[in-house]
Structure 1
Amino acid sequence: MTEIHTPRLLLRRWLDDDLVPLSEIQADPSVMQWIGDGSPRSLEQSAEDIEAWEEEWDEEGFGIFAVELLGSGELIGAVGLYAAEVPAEIAGQVAIRWRLGRAFWGQGYASEAAHAALEFALQDRGIDQVVAVCRTGDTASTNVLEKLGMQSEGTVEHPVHGHDLQVYGIDLTEYQE
């Protein structure tokens, strides 16, 4: 089982016990406002997410990690890598994403977990370039991307939802730990 320890977090594969806490995180409209069409996700949709994330691990050798606090073991969200399909400008590339429960915002957890995921991409999987997209106006995610050293590569329109997305990228061979 793939696990990454950071000073405060454990990034690991998904367990059956993670469904309810993830569904509570994804049911929060504030958490989901910048993701997809901005709608909260149901318990069933969260189960589908975990299943898809685990399938990607099996197929690609990377995926979205469950993120838990080391001290308490509490699930605080998800972070990791995925094979991008949309928008077309990044299709086929490895991308990074995250979502954390609102109670865990503003404490550096997203940056800490995303940093660990980038190191995993470079050191464990030999991936030399990672991209990301975030909705225009999502300043919290933009701040995390900039802390990671990712550079803006322009704006594109989401092909399904129609909103503007900022595209970011980083060459991990130049990544500064």
Structure 2
Amino acid sequence: MIELDTARLRLRQWREPDRAPFAAMNADPAVMEFFPALQSRAASDASIDAWQAQFQERGWSNWAVELRSTGSFIGFVGLSIPRRLLPFSPCVEVGWRLAREHWGQGFATEGARAALRVGFEQIGLDDIVSFTSVLNVRSRAVMERIGMHDTHQDFEHPGIPEGSPLRRHCLYRIFRGQWETS
């Protein structure tokens, strides 16, 4: 199973003590602003369980992220295969979600760059995507900072109700050749 360190972060397997702070993050309206709803503790735990199973199956998924300086859990960063059929499936997505108190410090960018490195250099992927609500300017900025490009192939996310302002999503992508020359 792949685990890694960056200058400030440890991307590692999930531990039982991660469950409570992860559930608190998923119940924070600011953290979940661009998701259709807050997550219950059961839904939050189910995500961790699914990611742990993916680590067992293929050696990679969404990592728990902790600060190396303190060992504090701050969220997740990782690579995943979207559960829903999307217009650009099959694909591998890089994604992240951090507790609000850790925003604006470059942690999402640092962790996502490390995830891209694993995807291209260890797993051998040809391309990696990321997507979010077109309204989510913070995540879009991270996508651009890590070298991804807007494909201009916006789509209606099938997991978000029709009529929701969050339904329209943008798709970003980076190819291995772009990663190697960045």
Which 10-residue stretch deviates more, 140-149 or 40-49? 40-49
Task: Quote the residue 1:166 is aligned against.
Answer: 170
Provide the identity percentage.
Answer: 34
C-alpha distance in structure 2 between counterparts of 1:23 and 1:171, whole Å: 33
Task: Kindly provide the amino acid, as one letter, of the partner of residue 155 in structure 2.
Answer: V
C-alpha distance in structure 2 between counterparts of 1:9 and 1:142, whole Å: 21
C-alpha distance in structure 2 between counterparts of 1:158 and 1:65, whole Å: 24
Which is richer in strand? 1
The count of aligned residue pairs is 175
Q: Tell me if the contact between 1:90 and 1:131 (Cα under 8 Å) persists in the aligned partners.
A: no
Residues 1:72 and 2:70 are matched in the alignment: yes
Which 10-residue stretch deviates more, 23-32 or 56-65? 56-65
C-alpha distance in structure 1 between counterparts of 2:101 and 2:159, whole Å: 30
C-alpha distance in structure 1 between counterparts of 2:88 and 2:146, whole Å: 18
Task: Quote the residue 1:155 is aligned against.
Answer: 154
Task: Kindly provide the amino acid, as one letter, of the partner of residue 164 in structure 1.
Answer: R
Aligned-residue Cα RMSD (Å) equals 1.4
Q: How does 1:1-177 map to 2 (within 5 A)?
A: 1-35=1-35, 37=36, 39-86=37-84, 88-153=86-151, 154-161=153-160, 162=162, 163-175=167-179, 176=181
CA deviation string 1:20-78 (max 9, x = no partner) = 1111111101101113x1x1112111110100111222233320000000011111001
Partner-residue secondary structure (3-state), 1:23: helix
TM-score normalised per structure 2? 0.91
Large movers: runs of 4+ above 6 Å = none
Q: Tell me if the contact between 2:86 and 2:157 (Cα under 8 Å) persists in the aligned partners.
A: no
CA deviation string 1:1-30 (max 9, x = no partner) = 422111110000111111011111111011
C-alpha distance in structure 2 between counterparts of 1:91 and 1:69, whole Å: 33
TM-score normalised per structure 1? 0.93
**Structure 1 residue 124: Cα displacement:** 1.2
